[in-house]
Amino acid sequence: MSTFWPITMRSMQAILPFVSEVPMLFDSPLVARRSLLAAVCLTPLLPLPVWSRNLQPYRARRQLLGTEITITVADDSQPHVAERVGQAFAEMQRLERLMSRFDPASQVSLINRSNGPVTVAPELLAVLQQARVLSARTQGLFNPLLGRFTAQADPQGRPLPGAVARSLLQHTQPSALALDTGKRQVRLRHPAAQLDLGGVAKLPILQAGLDKLAQSGLRGVMVNGGGDVLVTTRPDDQPWRIGIRDAHQPQRLLAVLPLQAGVVASSGDYERFHDVDGRRYHHIMDPATGLSTQGVNGLTMVMPTANLLNGLGTAAMVAGPEHAMQRLQQWGVPQAVLMHADGRVQASAALLRQLQPAPGQTSIRGLNA
């Protein structure tokens, strides 16, 4: 029997907007009700506040990694909270400056411009090693060498002419990335191959911020970054409640996941896309064709640590609607929910046991074994 059961979209009744149903995370002049509602429209995963009376959470936001990063500490009575949160943001910003292809001073940009080996920071080398392993593990469904292709892609979503696309893609095999781990050097073997770590660098950077806070002694920390949420155990031992957004109706929640500690990561095409001649074009591309993935609007995965699922959301979307869930199981991700472009929703049995109804609902109905 399959461990993945469909959830019909008809069964997913609408919930009221997040802010009208759930109180604000905490009283702060920096977090207005209007801005919290705006965040709902942009974030695939929505932390739902449930606090013990003796906990006063601390929250701060920064623009990093092309999105808004929010750090929440469940109990602001812990010493030096603001200072330690600032240090975590500084660490994430440092790593972004190493790995962004949009920053001409980054080490990734230097590698892309160079004709020879480039000595890199240990953190970047670790991400590149993971990217190469991930490419082999997914049989090329994930490819970190599409930087030149994505840089030339039409901003309106129209595909590049076939001859141009083929010429840019034919030299982007994983073998084009040469790593010398002993010397911490990186070299690209062909000028058509350029690094784009957008699908594999964000989670390690968010994890570094979380690690910085944990090493400082802070308990009960959440790092929320544009579809990826990482949490540690709260001082009151209550679970965090993560709202999973419905990719088909992004203003609504699909379900709620209680989580003591771990990582919830999402991928999807429903935030930034263009419809051209009846086809949806977006930022997640099939490395074999250069075209945007089709058939899967979004997916959410849950694992204990970031490294266990990093990059697999992108690879699963490339795998397509008929194979994504099976591939996730093969890659060791037992907890996942997949939202198909035709309106179907699949949830793994392991995740289904954990999900709770969204606010305003009494059940998640319409399940078929």
- Residue 84: partners with Cβ closer than 8 Å, 6 or more residues away: 212, 213, 216, 218
Mean pLDDT (whole number) for 29-46? 36
Q: Which residue did the predictor score with more confidence, 25 or 341?
A: 341
Q: Token match 């920064």: residue?
A: 62
Structure confidence at residue 21 as a pLDDT band (50, 70, 90): very low
Q: Give the 3-state DSSP-derived string for the chain, with helices as H, strands as E and coil as C.
A: CCCEEEECHHHCCCCCCHHHHCCCCCCCCCCCHHHHHHHHHHCCEEEECCCCCCCCCEEEEEEECCEEEEEEECCCCCCCHHHHHHHHHHHHHHHHHHHCCCCCCCHHHHHHHCCCCEECCHHHHHHHHHHHHHHHHCCCCCCCCEHHHHHHCCCCCCCCCHHHHHHHHCCCCHHHEEEECCCCEEEECCCCCECCCCCCCHHHHHHHHHHHHHHCCCCCEEEEECCEEEECCCCCCCCEEEEEECCCCCCCEEEEEEECCEEEEEEECCCCEEEECCEEEECCECCCCCCECCCEEEEEEEECCHHHCCCHHHHHHHHCCCCHHHHHHHCCCCEEEEEECCCCEEEEHHHHCCCECCCCCCCCCCECC
Residue 49 has pLDDT above 60, yes or no: no
Residue 44 has pLDDT above 70, yes or no: no
Give me the pLDDT at residue 351, please: 94
Asked whether residue 129 is domain-assigned, the answer is no
Asked whether residue 102 is domain-assigned, the answer is no
The range of the structural domain enclosing residue 65 comes to: 4-78+219-352
Asked whether residue 168 is domain-assigned, the answer is no
Residue 311 has pLDDT above 60, yes or no: yes
Structure confidence at residue 249 as a pLDDT band (50, 70, 90): confident
Q: Which residue did the predictor score with more confidence, 24 or 265?
A: 265
Asked whether residue 192 is domain-assigned, the answer is no
Mean pLDDT (whole number) for 44-65? 76
Residue 195 has pLDDT above 90, yes or no: yes
Asked whether residue 348 is domain-assigned, the answer is yes
Mean pLDDT (whole number) for 273-278? 60
Neighbouring-strand partners of residue 117: none
Asked whether residue 27 is domain-assigned, the answer is yes
What total of structural domains would you count in the chain?
Answer: 1
CATH of the domain at 303: 3.10.520.10
List pLDDT tens digits, range 277-306.
666 656 677 888 877 778 888 899 999 999
Asked whether residue 271 is domain-assigned, the answer is yes
Q: Which residue did the predictor score with more confidence, 347 or 33?
A: 347
Mean pLDDT (whole number) for 14-43? 28
The first and second tokens of residue 198, run together, are 């957008």
List pLDDT tens digits, range 112-130.
999 999 999 999 999 999 9
Mean pLDDT (whole number) for 205-227? 95
Average pLDDT for the chain: 81
- Residue 301: partners with Cβ closer than 8 Å, 6 or more residues away: 264, 265, 266, 309, 312, 313, 328, 333, 335, 336
- Quick check: pTM over 0.75? yes
